[in-house]
């Protein structure tokens, strides 16, 4: 069977699964689901959240590293109490730390070790996009930078699904050029489907597919789809100047210009370094 036939069969399978709503990844860990439940409860306090998190010692250790990182510990005061660490980070940042750890475990599963090169690349890029989304959304009215980080974290999850499914098509997986085209073409739709299946809000799911959900009217308020459009552009193309700040509607709505991009890049690097240290 030729590689083109292999690719056709694989893409046909993806299309069928997407049409039938059969796109799914393993359920999120219990601690992530518990944190999400607590976030939805306006009576949640740091003590209740601490009790839920304490059941996962790996997450606890990561939160201490995160809370004591240069990004969150500007005064250089070390924290050794879980509730205090949660207080410093904030509940949504704790949710994102739990999600980051869960996603890292999905991407590094030994079950998919022979696709490790693809998975490592996608995970590394996902961390860059989430950190850039955090920087781009910071200070923007009506947007929450932790929600933007979550959108970025989930933005490449469709590629995880595609890579794991492609293990049944080794010839396609071995054709890097063709397979990368499949990843880029199908990631947005599949990511959106997975995010929806995990029960995240529509605004988070829609951010996975900016080309479909960005309003071209620059007088409208920016959404997380705008944030992800800019974040992806800055991560992928910003260095070669192909993101047109003056013409791109998302850049205009988010007030991203040649004058502001250097500050965004500095914030992005700080956030990325913090996350890499906490997950290392």
Burial class of 189 by CB neighbour count within 10 A (0 to 12, 13 to 18, 19+): middle
Angstrom distance (rounded) from CA 83 to CA 261: 36
Instruction: Note the helical H segments in 214-260.
Output: 224-236, 249-254
Evaluate whether residue 135 is within a structural domain: yes
Mean pLDDT of 158-182: 86
Evaluate whether residue 99 is within a structural domain: yes
Evaluate whether residue 64 is within a structural domain: yes
In terms of Cα–Cα distance, which of 129, 198, 123 is closest to 163? 123
Q: What CATH number corresponds to the domain at position 226?
A: 1.10.3210.10
Which tens digit of pLDDT belongs to each residue from 240-275?
A: 556 888 999 999 999 999 999 999 999 999 999 888
If DSSP codes are grouped into helix, strand and coil, which group holds residue 2? coil
Evaluate whether residue 20 is within a structural domain: no
Domain that holds residue 140: 3-15+27-279
Which tens digit of pLDDT belongs to each residue from 56-106?
A: 888 888 889 888 888 888 888 898 888 888 889 888 888 888 888 888 888
Angstrom distance (rounded) from CA 262 to CA 229: 18
For residue 1, the model assigns a pLDDT of 42
pLDDT surpasses 90 at 217 = yes
Angstrom distance (rounded) from CA 217 to CA 8: 37
pTM: 0.86
Angstrom distance (rounded) from CA 206 to CA 2: 36
Contact status, residue 261 vs residue 124, Cβ threshold 8 Å:
no
Evaluate whether residue 21 is within a structural domain: no
Indicate the number of domains in the chain: 1
Mean pLDDT of 205-234: 95
Higher pLDDT, 25 or 54: 54
- The answer for residues whose C-beta is within 8 angstroms of residue 47's C-beta and 6 or more apart is 83
Instruction: Compute φ and ψ for 244, nearest 5 degrees.
Output: -90, 100
- The answer for residues whose C-beta is within 8 angstroms of residue 189's C-beta and 6 or more apart is 18, 158, 209
In terms of Cα–Cα distance, which of 190, 71, 207 is closest to 147? 207
The whole-chain average pLDDT of the chain stands at: 87
For residue 104, the model assigns a pLDDT of 85
For residue 141, the model assigns a pLDDT of 93
Given the structure tokens 């606890």, which residue do they identify? 60
In this structure, what token pair is assigned to residue 36? 């999400």
Evaluate whether residue 106 is within a structural domain: yes
Instruction: Note the helical H segments in the chain.
Output: 3-20, 30-40, 46-53, 57-67, 82-89, 91-107, 116-137, 145-154, 157-166, 170-173, 176-197, 202-206, 210-213, 224-236, 249-254, 261-279
Evaluate whether residue 258 is within a structural domain: yes
Interior/surface letters 92-107, b for 16+ CB within 10 angstroms, e for the rest? bbbbbbbbbbbbbebb
């Amino acid at each position: 069977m030729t590689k083109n036939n292999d690719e056709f069969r694989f893409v046909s399978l993806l299309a069928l699964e997407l049409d039938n709503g059969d796109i799914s990844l393993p359920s999120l860990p219990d601690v992530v689901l518990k944190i999400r439940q607590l976030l939805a409860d306006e009576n949640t306090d740091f003590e209740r959240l601490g009790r839920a998190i304490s059941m996962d010692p790996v997450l606890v250790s990561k939160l201490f590293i995160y809370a004591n990182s240069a990004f969150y510990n500007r005064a250089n005061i070390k924290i050794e109490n879980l509730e205090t660490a949660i207080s410093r980070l904030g509940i949504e940042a704790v949710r994102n730390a739990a999600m980051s750890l869960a996603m890292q475990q999905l991407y590094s599963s030994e079950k998919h070790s022979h696709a490790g090169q693809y998975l490592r690349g996608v995970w590394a890029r996902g961390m860059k996009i989430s950190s850039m989304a955090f920087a781009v959304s910071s200070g923007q009215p009506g947007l929450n930078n932790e929600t933007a980080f979550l959108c970025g974290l989930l933005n490449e999850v469709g590629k995880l699904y595609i890579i794991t499914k492609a293990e049944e098509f080794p010839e396609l997986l071995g054709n890097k050029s063709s397979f990368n085209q499949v990843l880029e073409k199908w990631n947005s739709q599949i990511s959106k489907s997975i995010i929806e299946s995990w029960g995240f809000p529509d605004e988070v799911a829609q951010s996975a597919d900016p080309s479909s959900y960005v309003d071209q009217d620059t007088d409208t308020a920016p959404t997380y789809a705008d944030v992800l459009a800019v974040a992806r552009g800055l991560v992928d193309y910003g260095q070669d100047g192909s993101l047109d700040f003056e013409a791109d509607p998302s850049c205009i709505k988010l007030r991203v210009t040649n004058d502001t991009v250097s500050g965004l890049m500095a914030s992005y690097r700080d956030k990325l370094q913090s996350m890499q240290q906490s997950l290392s």
